[in-house]
Structure 1
Amino acid sequence: MMNRKITKVAVLGSGIMGSRIACHFANIGVEVLLLDIAPKELTAEEQAKGLALDHKAVKNRIVNAALQTAVKSNPSPIYSQNVLQKISTGNFDDDMSKIANYDWIIEVVIENLDIKKKVFEQVEQFRKPGTLITSNTSGIPIHLMAEGRSEDFKSNFCGTHFFNPPRYLRLLEIIPTPYTKPEIIDFLMHYGDKFLGKTTVLCKDTPAFIANRVGVYSIMALLHSVEKLDLTIEEVDKFTGPALGRPKSATFRTSDVVGLDTMIKVAKGLYDNVPNDKAHDLFKLPAYVEKMAENNWLGDKTKQGFYKKIKNAEGKSEILALDLKTLEYKPQQKVKSATLEMTKSIDKVADRMKIFAAGKDKAGELFRTSFFGLFEYVSDRIPEIADELYKIDDAMRAGFGWELGPFEVWDAVGVAEAIEGMKKYGNEPATWVGEMLAGGNTSFYKVEDGVKKYYDIPSKSYKAIPGTSDFIILENLKANNKVLYKNAGASIIDLGEGILNVEFHSKMNTIGGDTLSAINKAIDMAEKDYRGVVIGNDGANFSAGANVGMIFMMAVEQEWEELNMAIRLFQNTSMRIRYSSIPVVVAPHNLTLGGGCEFSLHADHVQLSAETYMGLVEFGVGVIPGGGGTKEFALRASDEFSDDQIVQNTLKNRFLTIGMAKVSTSAVEAFELGYLQKDKYAISMNRSRLIADAKAKAIELADAGYTKPVQRKNIKVLGKQGLGIVHAGANSMYSGHYISEHDKKISEKLGYVMCGGDLSSPTEVTEQYLLDLEREAFLSLCGERKTLERIQSIVTKGKPLRN
């Protein structure tokens, strides 16, 4: 691996992609220079201020406005407001010379070859030889951009195609030209994966590369079959959403978010640039899409597309759907489907595919029409767009958010069975697929010794997917008989080298009695025969917190003794995570709420995904954190106390984090909110590396001679002095109508625990003392009618209730 460090990146072009790419580099701690063109004329506001065109504020107006728009957008492109300090802005006229000091220059200007070439000409004047230079184009052949450039430029130049939004979509396509040095490609593949957190896919310089070529084919094929199968917009979105392992926005809603114009542009580009593609005619727009473009119904950006939001007669917001036959908007219709009903009870997406393929209704028909065509298409694209089939699957999962790539879906349906079906629909797979089956190989992938392998066409054998040897994929270990214990809510899996993993697999990974018993069992096993424990999973979310349905049942039945035992077990499990004789590493990602957050608070180390949304949200269901979270915040406040002023502010800040149920929007913000402690956490940029990184940390702690910590007996609490602050704050919030009477009651209970009760003066107490107060407060709140109403609303409607 070449020794190349990236500490400074220059991004040329600050449009939607440029500004967001700049933000993502700043997220990972890189210094960024974001440049764009200087305006040619003044705005009325600038004229009124008497500014001239050469004034700095005018010259940087375009770039600064673009960055501001990006930062205000939702979802946010930044991990925390603090990362903005890493970005400086400028314009091509005054600041291009600064790129001489930058390690990587990324061009993200408008999709026009002549303009790009002009920018590169300017870059050549200032760029230091050997500096990495790449283009984020999605439609222009990469090799054309290198024409006329110096040898050094050409050998250090290639395409790096990010997907929008670059913080959240995991695909980064790397596209070399014939002149690109191989070590540049190796470096980018590694850097994208390890530091930018991307699934890096090596592409060929073919039209639309891999993901857009296959993704746009898939969308266009669907747009054409909608008419043939007489489907409504609502039906298509229902059939092509989460049940199929696709994002909730499915097909038409996604198109509205991305913008119909973007899709039309890529489709037209493909229609013009792949004249020999067997599916060439599919890239032609259906008449209704042409009409929508004429009407400027481009989706969210024009306030209407396939859907339109209106205010109805009662003044409530309502979302109408477009009738594709009449092109009029109508109220959405409920979608019924026997096939969808049958898939509901099946957790694994792969297992639903056979049901879809055999479906007797419109959902089944749409699946067969779409996928049989897609199977033919992707098998024909090898070796044109990629030599290996796994690259196509990687690109579709990371770029389009599909849970399974096309070849994985084909495997799930059954390769030979699907070919039978394809024939009936007039679809023919590429000859290599037939040869694969004839050679006795019945699937595109298989797992051997915990390693996923793909079918390699030239050698007619299975090979390990490159780059994945550093990943630990729990599914593969389960297929390799590494499960040591399993119950309804969790499994204990042997990760090797003396480390066990506790994987949750309940709905939303909520935590109930079975999850708690699995954690305790894993720690028992590790203390006896292993070296450490990781708590982590590959689910969509780490954990949505405690199973509130179970708490609700006990509270309604007034089974107080059982509820008391359940809360005690939760608290004891959190404490066991901290006070065991082996290291316990928690590896959260995405939603990490309530109990999931409390486990993280007690871990020896938290190895978390950059995208972790962590918070103690119990207030929303009318209680306080009861699994050790309130105790832990009191403990941490005590450790931060110094003089009186700081004591009061620290208590107030810690109190408000719980009282306002603050959830971090990233791992970085989880630290800023106080959920993570300075030397006890690390961030994995690439979610695929999370469990492996957590395992490595557990080994490191064990190797360093881990010793069991001692429970704390010196936690300083403020007693009545603190309660005064809490009550005054809660009263002023209540009288200002910011919180309800019930919120005030919960706030006072929370304050009571965090202040250690109504002690007459500041006192030192033990952890167990605070845990007992926490449990009492939690129990008493469960006896309140308004708390039960809140819990019921979450359990039955999935919505928080303010009462």
Structure 2
Amino acid sequence: MNIKKIGVLGSGVMGSGIAAHVASAGCQVELLDIVIDEAAPDKLAEGALAALAKSKPALAMHASFLKKIRPGNLRDHLDRLADCDWVVEVVKEDLAIKRELYGRLEPQLKAGAWVTSNTSGIPLKLLVEGRTDAFRKHFVITHFFNPVRYLRLLEFVKGPEVDEAEALAFRTWLEEALGKEVVPAFDSPTFIGNRIGIHGIMATLHMALAEKIPFEVLDSVLGDAAARAKSAAFRTADLAGVDILAATAKNVYDLCPNDEVRDTFKFPEFLQYMLDNKLLGNKTKQGFFKKGPKDAKGKKTFLALDPATREYIPQVKRDWPILKELKGLDDPAEKVKTLLTSDTEAGRLAWRCIAPNLTYAVNRLGEVTDGPLNVDRAIKNGFAFELGPFETWDTLGVERVAARMRFEEQPIAPLVEQMLAKGITSFYRWEHGVPVAQLNPKTLAYDPILEDRRVIILKREEGRGKVIAENGSCQLYDLGDDVACLSFRSKMNALDDGIIGLMEDTVQKHVPGRFKGLVLGNQGQHFSAGANLVMVLNAAKDKQFDLIEEVARRLQYAGRMLTYAPFPTVSAPFNLALGGGCEMTMACQRTVGHAELYIGLVEVGVGVIPAGGGCLQMLLRMEEAMAAKGELGPMPKVKAAFQAIGTANVNTSFDEAQRNGYLRRTDRRVMNKAFLLHEAKQEVLKMAADFQPVKERTLRLPGRGGSEALKMAVRDFQLQGLASEHDAVIMGELANILCGGDVSLVQEITEERILELERQAFTRLCGYEKTQARMDAILKTGKPLRN
């Protein structure tokens, strides 16, 4: 399937978000809305497009993609949809309005064009009533989650008239082109994600009000501590909109009269008060929480709404030791098990919130979808949980959970009773930590979970004996087809001695003669948050500067091995690739990165400069970028590199990084992170078919004259109060490196010389107390210190 042009009908929050996302995928978009002003008939769509340009966080992956969106209106411009491959309707949740629109839309459609609705409250069979067979055959519900760019879930509901093979082709395109986790759902009110997710929030709200538990206290045990989104329950409601929470709950209450806990979805009077007074969350800047005044130290504060007084008051904080313990755990299953089995106030509170939702999820099987896997996929990708409800059941142990519920006189799902009566003690059959079969609730047998060839799961490969070499920090895998993968597994995938050592052995010993090439990739929370800053800080405090310079030298040469390897090397970064993680990404010959890539050389923020080859790589890339613009000579590339490194900016998408020179034009974006390692592997095989080794280069740099000019600019910033004295020291070192040190314009500077200047400057800067203070601050607070 090749979808190139899309019509989006409705330019509200969801419609404009869909338009931005599909434009970011490379599609042309017609964004149409109703006419509210005869003098400016396109006003709504034009206003939505203008709002997209200002959205924070950005809803398009780069501002340039918004040029692909043409605003218009539903009265005058329906003919623009005649060459659309897909039209998605996102208008008001009113059946009569939608049907009238479909009646006008159908004559405009080209043969075979898909029409979808983003509804979550109106049954599909009612939407297509009165439409032709041709319309019905290509009509489905595609329920996106907001914000569309950042939440991967897309619930997919089709009627019986839609051909299964055509629906599969459409779903595959949505997964590959838009990066969505497409989950098939039954045509039931609010489908899977909202039915189960909103139950959890509403049940927690009723508990908070009945027992007078502050909202922020409940959120403290339902966020990161429970391996869930940091926004937990009530901050999630503020993000999505309290009105959206209420509307979804009302849909369930009105449309599901036989729901066994229907009253959970009934509005408490307090929720109605919030709606009446526009306490709708982030969109009105006040909901369950709002920003407070800055404290004595100038830090932001947040207030919580008190249901008793209906005033915003300072948040209550519970100093529960277990919450600190949980921060040290990376494995989601271990985190959830530790919290929910803990005989502590925090553990008991989390259990009381989560347990009813576990039962509710079981009772929805057969109503919202056919098996546990789709429920878990929906909740994980729609609400940013790390474990779905059924994964949680299995992590805790079905027998143990049922026994505890029985002891506490909580209702137990009939399906769980049936399972235990037959000796079935899990919802999944697991192999090597990966589910390979799921329970069929009708037959109580296990149905195999079909493997997608595009999904490589390293944990499963480990269980299959595909690990070639390993240490405590990383593993080297055989990915098949003569491709190897070096995967990090340190805390935050920070680069340390173990990673550097196995990287050296991989390039020198393991890959040559055995593999066609190497992928640098992993499946942690982040690709790599940088070098091991704790080790650097401790060495600096102990004045072990020879050790610091040696570590920098080893990291530099590990990167050089990746660049000049006699075989293809491809990095597969995602989420955070900062500092050293950015440097190793740039060191590889090619990058196949996830669209949601946050990459940057951020070392200046901790008082140093890049010393793993980052200065060299930025110079080389900026030379290419400037040459493409016709800006030749020594200084343009130096200025561009100086600005990129000196501002310590983090690029907020693959596309932004590519346009800013961090990634090359030959590097490739992957929209769906689940397919990233597969696509990186395919790139290695493609490169291996006609491999050309990278040749070492020399650089023409401006020398002392250039560095003095850059330092003069920094002094101007100091005079304006935009840079501190220590900032000037750091930037002076950076200027010296990028300009090649004390050289003349006619000299050609080797890569080795730049690397030498890098590590010497890095070591010197580590000796400053102010640099050490910056490192200490980032480790303790996560925020940069400007001293």
TM-score band w.r.t. shorter chain = over 0.9
Secondary structure of the residue that 1:470 maps to in structure 2? coil
1:90 to 56, 69, 72: 72
AA aligned to 1:619 is V
Equivalent residue in structure 1 for 2:546, among 561, 569, 574: 561
The farther-off stretch of 756-765 and 295-304 is 295-304
- The structure 1 residue matched to 2:42, chosen from 50, 57, 60, is 60
Match of 1:133 among 108, 115, 121: 115
Instruction: Please say if residues 719 and 763 of structure 1, whose CA atoms lie closer than 8 Å, have aligned partners that are also in contact.
Output: no
The residue aligned with 1:20 is: 17
CA distance in 1, matches of 2:67, 2:528: 32
How far apart, CA to CA, are the structure 1 residues paired with 2:24 and 2:648?
24
Other-structure match for 2:678: 692
Contact 1:722 1:755 in 2 (8 A): yes
1:309 aligns with 2:295: no
Letter of the 1:177 counterpart: G
Q: What is the match of residue 409 of structure 1?
A: 392
Out of 162, 166, 173, the residue aligned to residue 180 of structure 1 is 162
Question: Match of 2:446?
Answer: 462
Q: Is residue 389 of structure 1 aligned with residue 386 of structure 2?
A: no
Aligned-partner residue type, residue 480 of structure 2: G
Moved more, 355-364 or 597-606: 355-364
Q: Secondary structure at the match of 2:178?
A: coil
- Aligned twin of 1:43: none
For 2:434 and 2:465, locate their aligned partners in 1 and report how far apart those are by CA, in whole Å. 12
What is the one-letter code of the residue matched to 1:692? H
The answer on 1:238 being equivalent to 2:225 is: no
Runs of 4+ aligned structure 1 residues displaced above 6 Å come to: none
What do the CA deviations read for 1:466-514 (whole angstroms, capped 9, x no partner)?
Answer: 4634201122223444334333322233323333322222222221222
Partner residue of 1:318? Answer: 301
Q: Out of 564, 568, 571, which is 1:583 matched to? A: 568
Match runs of 1:129-278 below 5 Å: 129-278=111-260
CA deviations 1:726-765 (Å, max 9, x no partner) are 2343333333333223222222221211121121223212
Structure 1 CA distance for aligned equivalents of residues 191 and 415 of structure 2: 22
Within-5 A mapping of 1:333-344: 333-344=316-327
Superimposed CA distance per residue, residues 640-661 of structure 1 (whole angstroms, 9 cap, x where no aligned partner): 5667766433331222111111
| Structure 1 position 517, deviation (Å) | 1.5
Deviations 1:23-43 (A, max 9, x none): 101101101111111224xxx
Question: How far has the Cα of 1:304 moved from its partner?
Answer: 2.2
Amino acid at match of 1:650: K
Q: Cα distance, 1:174 vs. partner? A: 0.8
* Contact persistence 1:490–1:504 (CA under 8 A): yes
1:325 deviates by 3.8
Count of aligned pairs between the two proteins: 782
Aligned residue for 1:468, secondary structure, equals coil
Q: Structure 2: how far apart are the matches of 1:238 and 1:383?
A: 33
Q: Is the 8 A contact 2:700 2:745 kept in 1?
A: no
User: Which of 734, 752, 756 is the equivalent residue of 2:740?
Assistant: 756
Contact kept in structure 2, 1:245 and 1:402, CA below 8 Å: yes
- Closer, same or farther in 2 for the Cα pair 1:609/1:784, shift >3 Å? same
Rounded Cα–Cα distance in structure 1 between residues aligned with 2:751 and 2:422: 65
Task: Tell me by how many angstroms 1:142 deviates.
Answer: 1.8
Q: Partner of 2:750 in structure 1?
A: 766
Amino acid at match of 1:471: V
Q: Secondary structure at the match of 1:264?
A: helix
> In the alignment, what sits opposite 1:631?
616
2:31 is aligned to 34
State the distance in 2 between where 1:83 and 1:762 align: 42
Residue identity matched to 2:403? E
Give the equivalent residue in structure 2 for 1:540.
Answer: 525
Kept in 1, the 8 Å contact 2:703–2:740? The answer is: yes
Q: Report 1:481-496 matches (<5 A).
A: 481-496=465-480
Structure 2 match to 1:48: none
Hey, what does 1:674 align to over in structure 2? 661
CA 1:433–1:66 in 2, change beyond 3 Å: closer, same or farther? same
Aligned AA for 1:540?
Answer: Q
Select 1:298's aligned residue among 274, 277, 280.
Answer: 280
Shift of 1:412: 0.3
TM-fit CA distance, 1:629:
0.7
Moved more, 369-378 or 610-619: 369-378
Unpaired segments ≥5 residues, structure 1? 41-52
1:637 and 1:155, CA in 2 relative to 1: closer, same or farther beyond 3 A?
closer
The separation in 2 between residues aligned to 1:513 and 1:11, in whole angstroms, is 51
CA distance in 1, matches of 2:761, 2:331: 39
Deviation at 1:100, TM superposition (A): 0.7
When the two chains are superposed, the root-mean-square deviation of aligned CA atoms in Å is 2.2
The structure-2 alpha-carbon separation of the partners of 1:479 and 1:330, relative to structure 1 and needing over 3 Å to count, comes to farther
Q: Which deviates more, 463-472 or 408-417? A: 463-472
Q: Distance in 1 between matches of 2:702 and 2:19?
A: 46
Q: Aligned partner of 1:5: which letter?
A: N
Contact 2:225 2:336 survives alignment (8 Å) = no
1:639-687 C-alpha deviation (Å, 9 max, x unpaired) = 45667766433331222111111221100111111111122x1111101
Match runs of 1:669-748 below 5 Å:
669-679=656-666, 681-702=667-688, 704=689, 706=691, 708-712=693-697, 714-748=698-732
Specify the SS of the correspondent of 2:72: strand
Whether 2:490 is the aligned partner of 1:502: answer no
How far apart are residue 708 of structure 1 and its match?
4.2
Q: Which amino acid aligns with 2:69?
A: I
Answer whether contact 1:723 1:758 (CA < 8 A) is retained: no
Give the conservation status (yes or no) of the 8 Å contact 2:641–2:738. no
SS in 2 for 1:789: helix
Q: Cα–Cα, structure 1 residues 546 and 316, in superposed 2: closer, same or farther, change >3 Å?
A: closer
After superposition, the C-alpha distances for 1:82-135 in whole angstroms (9 at most, x for unaligned) are 111211111112211111111111111111111111211221232223211111
Determine helix, strand or coil for the equivalent of 1:133: strand
Q: In structure 1, how many angstroms separate the alpha carbons of the residues matched to 2:581 and 2:55?
A: 28
Tell me which moved more, 351-360 or 101-110: 351-360
Question: With structure 1 as the length reference, what TM-score do the two structures score?
Answer: 0.93
Partner of 1:47: none
Between 621-630 and 227-236, the greater mean CA deviation after superposition: 227-236
Look up the equivalent residue of 2:659 and give its one-letter code.
E
Partner AA of 1:558 in structure 2: K
Q: What does residue 418 of structure 1 align with?
A: 401
**Inter-partner Cα distance in structure 2 for 1:490 and 1:749:** 33
Tell me the distance in 1 between the aligned counterparts of 2:777 and 2:295.
27
**Secondary structure of residue in 2 paired with 1:776:** helix
Match of 2:352 among 365, 369, 378: 369
CA 1:415–1:521: 2 relative to 1, 3 Å: farther
Q: 1:794 aligns with which of 754, 760, 778?
A: 778
Q: 1:459 deviation in Å?
A: 5.2
CA contact 2:434–2:459 (8 Å) conserved in 1: no
Q: Read off the aligned partner of 1:594 and give its amino acid letter.
A: G
Q: Is 2:779 the counterpart of 1:782?
A: no
Distance in 2 separating the partners of 1:536 and 1:656: 28
Moved more, 231-240 or 495-504: 495-504
Percent of residue pairs bearing the same amino acid type: 38
Asked if 2 retains the 8 angstrom alpha-carbon contact of 1:718 and 1:763, the reply is no
2:34 partner amino acid:
I
C-alpha distance in 1 between matches for 2:695 and 2:731: 31
Shift of residue 312, structure 1, vs aligned partner: 6.2
Deviates more, 1:29-38 or 1:317-326: 317-326
Confirm or deny that 1:552 pairs with 2:537. yes
Structure 1 pair 87/762, CA: closer, same or farther in 2 (3 Å)? Answer: farther
